Amino acid sequence: MSEGSKGSLLAFGQVVIGPPGSGKTTYCHGMQEFMGRIGRKVTVVNLDPANEVMPYQCAVDIAELITLPDVMENLKLGPNGGLIYCMEYLEANFDWLQEKLAASKGHYYLFDCPGQVELYTHHDALKNVFAQLAKWNFRLAAVHLVDSHYCTDPGKFISVLCTSLSTMLHVELPHVNVLSKMDLIEQYGKLAFNLDYYTEVLDLSYLVDHLASDPFFRNYRRLNEKLVEVIEDYSLVSFVPLNVQDKESMRQVMQAVDKANGYSFGDQEHRSLEALMSAAVGADFHFTSTLAVQEKYVQSRDKAVEEEVMDL
């Protein structure tokens, strides 16, 4: 995998990014298992120096190079400053990363990245790491995970949209935004609109109107309108819903990422995927699908309307 060599093989993969608690490590574990079932050789690379518990099989671990606790203790830095230092240290040691990646040529790569949002919206260290990987003939797509519970709060959802847009513009990679933990969304509260409204990021003026019903946000209507205008003017942000325990949901995310990074799979993998999708639902995929979750919202809303009519 020589730098800039036109004759070297292409390598495909995903850089899994997103705020803390969004499910990046769980996603890498689930995607590693899912791709393994359809015959794709997967190498997971942990680039999070604060990640001490990894459920997946980790082939390359940044902890061999540097760890966040060591940096915080020796340099007297906080967690945010320590993470930035670790990423800059990785940037200064590309030879270590290249040597580690060379041991798994021909594999598909999942890069489990840190959860500090500033690394994807302001700082250049990780962006430069991704650019260096591109020079080594890696074809990457950024998978940006966002916890689906933000959909239940219009103010937080607008904030998520702004963060996602800023990340897309800064990271400069083909981008797939993912609403994670869809199997838990019913526990977070009732959605103001149908799920499609949030995944497709439809007319956001309705969201601003909904916010205006809150006395606190009423004073910031003009600000929210301008933020929404910026998001809609770029027209870049949309989401793919994900439930890691649902194989159909995993397939949709995988195919969206494959389209983004240009990966094309062979006949054998295609047959394996068809066999997996047609198999009976097993113990690993026991949660309801994203579609079923959405249907429950529609049904519950229709039932509520019927009850109101009956009361009248």
Q: Residue 217 falls within a domain, yes or no?
A: no
Q: Residue 61's Cα: distance from chain center in Å?
A: 20
**pLDDT at residue 73 tops 90:** yes
Q: Which two tokens stand for residue 60?
A: 């390359």
Q: Residue 191 falls within a domain, yes or no?
A: yes
pLDDT of residue 296: 52
The parent domain of residue 152 ranges over 11-201+237-310
**Could you tell me if 39 and 268 are in contact, meaning their C-beta atoms sit under 8 angstroms apart?**
yes
Q: Tens digit of pLDDT for each residue in 189-235?
A: 788 788 888 899 888 888 888 887 877 777 888 898 999 999 999 88
What's the domain count of the chain? Answer: 1
Q: Residue 3 falls within a domain, yes or no?
A: no
Q: Residue 111 falls within a domain, yes or no?
A: yes
Residue 55: CATH number of its domain = 3.40.50.300
Q: Tens digit of pLDDT for each residue in 133-150?
A: 999 999 999 999 999 988
Q: Residue 4 falls within a domain, yes or no?
A: no
**pLDDT at residue 300 tops 70:** no
pLDDT of residue 294: 52
Q: Residue 291 falls within a domain, yes or no?
A: yes
Give me the helix-helix angle, 154-171 and 205-212, nearest 10°.
Answer: 140
Confidence of residue 286 (pLDDT cuts 50, 70, 90): very low
Core vs surface per residue 263-296: b (16+ CB within 10 A) or e: bebeeeeeebbeebeeeeeeeebebebbeebbee
Confidence of residue 155 (pLDDT cuts 50, 70, 90): confident
Q: Residue 153 falls within a domain, yes or no?
A: yes
What number of residues does the chain have? Answer: 312
What ranges in 18-177 are assigned the alpha helix state H? 24-37, 68-75, 79-91, 94-101, 118-121, 125-135, 154-171
Could you give phi then psi for residue 194, rounded to 5 degrees? -60, 160
Q: Which of 22-26, 39-43, 80-84, 216-220 has the lowest mean pLDDT?
A: 216-220
How far apart CA 279 and CA 40 sit, in angstroms, is 18
> What integer best gives the mean pLDDT of the chain?
85
Q: Tens digit of pLDDT for each residue in 92-126?
A: 999 999 999 999 988 999 999 999 999 999 999 99
**pLDDT at residue 266 tops 70:** no
Q: Residue 151 falls within a domain, yes or no?
A: yes
